[in-house]
Amino acid sequence: MNCPPARYLLFFQYFGTKYSGVMETLTDQPMLGVQNYLERAAQKLRPVTPIKFYISSRTDAGVHALCNSAHVNIQRAAGKLPFPESIIVSALNHHLKPEPIRILSAYRVSENFHARFSALSRTYVYRLVTGCSHHSQIPVFERDLCWAPRGDGLRFWELEFKSRSFLYKQVRRMAGALVAVGQGKLAPSHIKELLECRDPLAYPLNTIAPAAGLFLKSVEYDEAAVEEEGNAAE
């Protein structure tokens, strides 16, 4: 008889430029999701049943993650003990090569733990570089990692947003609105009107910040609860 599956909480990061987003897509699409590559790597662990990543936080095409999270169930063949967390990390990173995706850490949790619903908050960072009259002025290692609206004086800015959850494109809308006010395209009174009407269709589409500057910085959990989950799982 096969052993019951072991559940793990995984933290991972990626450069989102070449992906359709973090979520899985059909394999015949020109751009795949980060989840496609994670699950492909996980199948190399030879589980008894297919592995599915339950991802805590969606990110769109071109958006990056310094740290996203997911939980997975891994069932091994009869007589084989669950993988240690360190083996999960090293094995998945080996099979993810050469993709710009990396597993940061893994924690054994109980079967009741859910990466999405157990999260206390998500933190996003939006990176801006001002003062570029042309895209070629951005340092090579910063391209596809920031938004460069025109302005005077080369400066880097980081806008940080933290909440339990976010609406679709909410952070990009907020960052775009702040830049639009700074550029005189929107007045502060317009921001108040947009907040009060609570209608996403009322938001000016040409002021939504591009995906390249957005990073999911972290997903926060109750550390004591995660540790208790691990003890319960063992």
Catalytic residues: 60
For residues 71 and 54, is the Cβ–Cβ distance under 8 A? yes
Give the strand pairing for 64-74 and 155-163.
unpaired
Which residue, among 68, 66, 108, 69, has the nearest Cα to 87 in the 3D structure? Answer: 108
In angstroms, the CA 186 to CA 181 distance is: 5
Specify burial of residue 124 (Cβ count, 10 A radius: 0-12, 13-18, 19+): buried
Q: At what angle do helices 85-96 and 34-42 cross, to 10 degrees?
A: 120
Tokens of 234: 């063992």
